[in-house]
Amino acid sequence: MLLRGHELRDAGHNVHTIYVGGGTPTVLDAGELDRLLEACHRHLPLEKPEWTVEANPGTLDSGKIDVLAAFGVNRLSLGVQDLDDRRLAILGRRHTAADAWRAFVMAQKKISSISVDIMSGLPEQECGDFLNTLAAVVNWGPDHVSVYGLKVEEGTVFAEQCNSGRLCLPGEEEVLNMLLAGRELLIEQGFEHYEIANFARPGCAGRHNITYWRNLPYIGVGLGSHSYWMGSRTVNVSDPVAYGGMLMDGKLPIAETAAVSLRQEMEETMMLGLRLLEGIKFEDFACRFGEDLRDVFSTEILFLQQKKLIITDNSRIRISERGFPVANLVFAEFITA
């Protein structure tokens, strides 16, 4: 952090957003959190940042919330996931629905913006269950909701249970219904669908994540974290001993570096920018690359327009309602192997 802080200062950059994530930083006790957040203040050129911390309802208490608030954390991302205790247990979550609610209420008193994560496509979950969970959580008053589908990774115990039929996952059609009905519910409740998996009350979209989707630079600090900085994507070393060793030698603990070519940058700008429902402004693309995206990707755009998966108007290109459930097909068009 110190090294990166110097780098930023030397280049005349300030930090506008911070996201403390990587699972559940709230497993740290209040004292450890204090040291971490204090270090951010000491080493980084902060400029009124949007400062988000990820939290697991099972590991949050009022002491930790006080520490977060005291250092200026103004956004909390709370992993509620579901309000069915049985399903939470199947997912291996240590918290219950009651824990989630208590954590939310506690945090709401001190932290101005709260986002909740909700999952769809869980074992034994029906569309009605999902909508009930969503409606109940929206009632608590979050200003931001992320909805993620469950992805079963092959080779895990969980996958084995699903394959053997001991866990029954909802089918694709059912999951799609959850997404579409959930989207409708949130929009009715005054949320804007601004990114494929993200909904926010007007003006409450997460600035930090928008950095990723606008394909702008960011710096990751910590084991195995990713950066996109000075035209390269890098990954930090994930072994703690090696990481510490490199820092002691005064080196950035980078394990992998991949330079991004101009063409790749254009493609990634499309792949990421189309995740935002407002899409990509032709003008922004032209300012950045000196070329009109309608020229660079003319055949791809024509193809996707014919399939009614994207929409273009005078100023921008965006994904259509028909396109967003199959967004991978849209993104893939812009990527060359």
State in angstroms the smallest separation of the CB of 134 from other proteins: 15
What is the rounded radius of gyration, in angstroms, for the C-alpha atoms of the chain? 21
Question: Considering the complex, what minimum distance in angstroms separates the CB of residue 229 from other proteins?
Answer: 11
| CB closer to other proteins, 278 vs 283 | 278
Contacts of 104 (CB under 8 A, 6+ apart): 57, 78, 80, 114, 116, 140, 142
Helix (H/G/I), strand (E/B), else coil: 286? helix
Residues near other proteins (CB under 8 A): 147-149, 151, 172-173, 175-176, 179, 196-197, 209, 212-213, 218, 220, 224-228, 233, 235, 258, 267-268, 271-272, 275, 307, 324-329, 331-333, 335-337
How many Å apart are CA 18 and CA 34, to the nearest integer?
16
Provide the minimum distance between the beta carbon of 309 and other proteins in the complex, in angstroms, as a whole number.
8
Q: Which is nearer to other proteins, 119 or 137 (CB)?
A: 119
C-alpha–C-alpha distance, residues 196 and 143, integer Å: 17
To other proteins, the closest distance from the beta carbon of 126 in angstroms equals 17
Q: Between residues 67 and 309, which has the closer beta carbon with respect to other proteins?
A: 309
Cα–Cα separations (whole angstroms), residue 26 to 76, 140, 221, 283: 11, 21, 17, 41
- 146: β partners: 117, 198
Query: How far apart are alpha carbons 322 and 312 in whole angstroms?
Result: 14
Q: Which is nearer to other proteins, 314 or 328 (CB)?
A: 328
| Least distance (Å) between residue 22 CB and other proteins | 9
Give me the least distance between CB of 332 and other proteins, in Å please: 5
Cβ proximity to other proteins, 26 vs 52, nearer residue: 52
Report, in Å, the least distance between residue 131 CB and other proteins.
17
Q: Report whether 326 contacts 333 (CB < 8 A).
A: no
Q: Which is nearer to other proteins, 18 or 67 (CB)?
A: 18
Q: What is the DSSP string of 143-196?
A: SEEEEEE--PPTTSHHHHHHHTTSS-PPPHHHHHHHHHHHHHHHHHTT-EEEET
| C-beta of 39 vs 196, nearer to other proteins | 196
